[in-house]
Amino acid sequence: MRTATTITLTTTYLLLVLLTVKSSLVLELDGQWKLEDSTRNYQELNANVPGGIYTDLMENKILEDVFFGFRDVETRWVAQNNWTYFRNFVVDEALLAHDNIKLVFDGLDTFSQIILNDHLIGTSENMFVQYIFDVLPYLQNGINTLQVRFTSPILMAKHLFEKQAMDYLVPPACVPIEYNGECHANHIRKMQASFSWDWGPALPSVGIWKSVRIEAYNSGLIRHVLVSTEADQSDNWNVKVTTYFDGNINDELLGDLLIRLQTNLDVVETIYDISFTNIGNGELVHTAMFTIPKLHVDLWWPNGYGNPTLYQMTVTFKSSNQEEMCKKTLKIGFRTISLVQDKIGTKQESGLSFYFIVNNVPIFAKGTNSIPLNILPEKGYDSTTIQFLLKSAQAAHMNMIRVWGGGVYESDEFYEVCDELGIMVWQDFMFACAMYPVNEEFLSTVKEEVRYQVRRLQYHPSIILWAANNENEAALRQDWYGTYSDFELYKSDFIKLYVDTIRNEVFKSDTSRQFLTSSPTNGLQSELDGYIALNPASNFFGDVHYYNYLTDSWEQDSMPIPRFSSEYGLQSFPTIPSLLTATNSTTDLLFNSNFMKHRQHHPGGNEEMLALMSMRLPIVSNENENFYKAYIFYTQIHQSMGIKLQTEKYRIWRSSLNIIDQGFTMGALYWQLNDVWMAPTWSGIDFNLNWKMLHYYAKKFFSPILIAGYQSTSRNVSIHIVSDLTSNIYNATATVNIYNWDSFEPVHTENHQAIIMSGLSTSITSFWVDTTLSEAQCGTDISAKYECFLHLSLTDNNGLPLAPDNFLFPAALKDSHLRSSTVKIGAVTQMTKDGTEYDIQVITDGIALFVWLEVDKIKGIFSDNGFMMITKATVVKFYPNAPTSLDEIKNYVTVTHLTDSQYF
């Protein structure tokens, strides 16, 4: 290899160089295929690739919408059958003339045999692996026949479970009965949630769920490009580019490698004369290093901290005989990142910190967890869904999403959009809530999976962390699946899978990021404890998952103060219009209907929600004919308030410790962003991509500047200002207004002026709430808390808002002396000629809580929703997803609120 030289070429010159060589040939095999089952009850059905069996059977009208009614269990026969996809394709002499011809499947779900012209050329067993088969010996000039014969994943999982059980059991055997699911998902490398979860149905698809093609080349073909950027102590970025080739297995790979990077000031190009032989399995690797002055590029920043600047890099290989060229283009970012786990305090039991520093700035992680974008994996590639969900996260000021470990490694577009929006990705590997086998066959396919996925995703600046699994450290230590009696055996399996196999394989390709052996975990302390922490739920180390369905969800003192909360949540139902896309009957929405029971997979979930809501909200008797309407609506209120108060607590504790050194909380990722069907879940956005009340609240509680009240069980209230800004704000004014339920005029006002805000959490005042309310003439010390509430605002020295207004209820709303207000829609005004923005006036005759707008049949987003009205009128903007007429908005817009007469 000759020494790299850095030169600058004009675009015209580069084009002339590339035109002197020819590219490898690619024959795309996506599109129309045929389909049949092993019993031949269904023959010559039309099928689509990429696709899956449920989607294809719906397209052929053999199945109706599998997300409707009870069809998830009514269609159980589909996954129990074996299915074959097949097609003919034509190959010409030009393609056959190449030295190397490969058949490439980007995704096969899951167990299959691949038959080309009646020759078995290979098998698949892992949904998350790219399969590449040498087909040069089997192709023929003219018509060729390709079959992919899929075996039932249900039957294969059962077979592998029974085979493993001959040695010892790897639990759990099945999901809880309430899931209506399938068994033994942990024995196969397939989307674990496709066998059902507590938020989704069992629809274990089979199919060619990603693209398939034939690639023909002579010298070499670029498979993956890995890029690491490291800032040195001087004024440069050190760039490391690792290129993985499929090479000619018979000859050396000879030629030039051109790396071209467009920076702010110029085009940087480096040329390498490469000459090396095969390193095994036809794989060739080349590593290049070069430097770029820091002044030539801008940094990639998380959402809210700066621009997520990206730069285009093209890696081109040109064979030495000038006969062949291949290239790969990607966008990279320049950023530094580290996970800080430093000792806190002077006592051993005080624990370690756990937070991310990006570009030398400590980042409070604000965000959520994403589950698969669709339980039918090929539908998770829908660009509209990807764009909507991630832009919704950005709009709610989120800077991090955790890709949860029971789903899939998401599409290239998913990570590309995260790069573009500045959304950091906490990436789990696809292992969740189970023990897993560690036999040779299983570990072998896991290695392939990790190797492929890390190489595919490594260059994305948005990915900040690899985590080996979801909750399996906690499951083992806390004996979720009866493993305590053989703890050392399962601990050994844990280490063999997540440390010796997955971690080691990750570090072969990527050492630029932190690796965690589980989530939640105690991080470094877990490693010291032999990778299974004595208490994986500790608030003094690492990250925690916290769920509590027994105590008051609005009581902040009952919530933990962890270093980082990577999961916490409460359930709610989608709205009634959304639910009625999954059933035709409103009687199915009654509390104890079979439909409502079927859709609730969390054991006892509907009853839990009712019990928790009843602690705070004025629930009508279930004898009332409108009870189901109140119940469904109130679940969203309860969820939004519970997550709001918990998130605010986490943000308040970002820069302080309590007396036992809990605190310095630096992450809040609630469960969960999205849905895979219409059901009660923990999501903030429903299956039809409608924002639930929670997502509107997230837009406020994740705002860059927050004013919030904290009421302790002793009834002391403290008012806090939290800022994520990296610069100070001077002369801010915090206003605490006290209102009673009868008037739009506050009965008492306090202004706290000349506030200086830094990037921390600051308490600006505290008081005994009952005394303050009594002094404000809200009643006696005993009755005052029922008569009034607090409203908080924060403004700059020009009186402009710095943070969303907030509120605090001193007593449970079910006990407060609420009034039954009348809320109506006023004027509706079209604001743009193309019908993409409307102003909707809302009018009330009294204080109104949780005012909720809907435009039935028209999808879109409001500027605010689920809000509180302390004025007679307010205007809310509505942005329909597609141009809409004024008459349609007027006809379909509705409004409701907490004390609407239909509930109260």
Residue 777 has phi, psi (to 5 degrees) of: 65, 40
Of 519, 523, 517, 524, whose CA–CA distance to 497 is shortest? 517
Residues 685, 678: Cα–Cα separation, whole Å: 11
- Pairing between β-strand 463-467 and β-strand 424-428 as defined by DSSP bridges: parallel
Per-residue DSSP letter, 807: E
Residues 890, 882: Cα–Cα separation, whole Å: 16
- Pairing between β-strand 544-546 and β-strand 565-568 as defined by DSSP bridges: parallel
Question: Would residue 567 show up in a list of annotated catalytic residues for this protein?
Answer: yes
**Residue 685 burial by CB count (10 A; 0-12/13-18/19+): exposed, middle or buried?**
buried
Range 748-751, long-range pairs (CB < 8 A, 24+ positions): 748/772, 748/775, 748/776, 748/777
The amino acid that residue 875 corresponds to is: V
Residues 449, 159: Cα–Cα separation, whole Å: 22
**Residues β-bridged to residue 657:** 663
Catalytic residue from among 182, 410, 471, 473? 471
Transcribe 376-437 into DSSP letters: SGGGGG-HHHHHHHHHHHHHTT--EEEE-TTS-PPPHHHHHHHHHHT-EEEEE-S-BSS---
Exposure letters 429-460 (e unless 16+ CB within 10 A, then b): bbbbbbbbbbeeebbebbbbbbbbbbbbbbbb
Question: Would residue 471 show up in a list of annotated catalytic residues for this protein?
Answer: yes
**How is residue 108 written in tokens?**
């096969």
Of 880, 874, 896, whose CA–CA distance to 827 is shortest? 874
3-state secondary structure 422-437: CCEEEEECCCECCCCC
Residues 233, 493: Cα–Cα separation, whole Å: 42
**How is residue 669 written in tokens?**
């990722």
Residue 141 CB: number of other CB atoms within 10 A? 11
CA 300 to chain centroid: 20
Residues 241, 289: Cα–Cα separation, whole Å: 6
**How is residue 248 written in tokens?**
């000619």
Residues 394, 383: Cα–Cα separation, whole Å: 16
Transcribe 70-108 into DSSP letters: THHHHTHHHHHS-EEEEEEEEE-HHHHTSSEEEEEES--
Asked if residues 556 and 672 have their Cβ atoms less than 8 Å apart, the reply is no
**How is residue 756 written in tokens?**
């200086």
Of 332, 336, 330, 263, whose CA–CA distance to 305 is shortest? 336
Residues 149, 115: Cα–Cα separation, whole Å: 8
Give CA angle at 203 (198, 208), nearest 5°: 135
Residue 699 has phi, psi (to 5 degrees) of: -60, -30
- Pairing between β-strand 860-862 and β-strand 463-467 as defined by DSSP bridges: unpaired
Residues 902, 363: Cα–Cα separation, whole Å: 45
CA 829 to chain centroid: 36
Catalytic residue from among 449, 473, 567, 787? 567
Distances (CA, A) of 150 to 108, 109, 161, 201, 445: 9, 8, 19, 21, 18
Per-residue DSSP letter, 502: I
Of 667, 704, 567, 723, whose CA–CA distance to 355 is shortest? 667
Instruction: Please give the positions annotated as active site.
Output: 471, 567
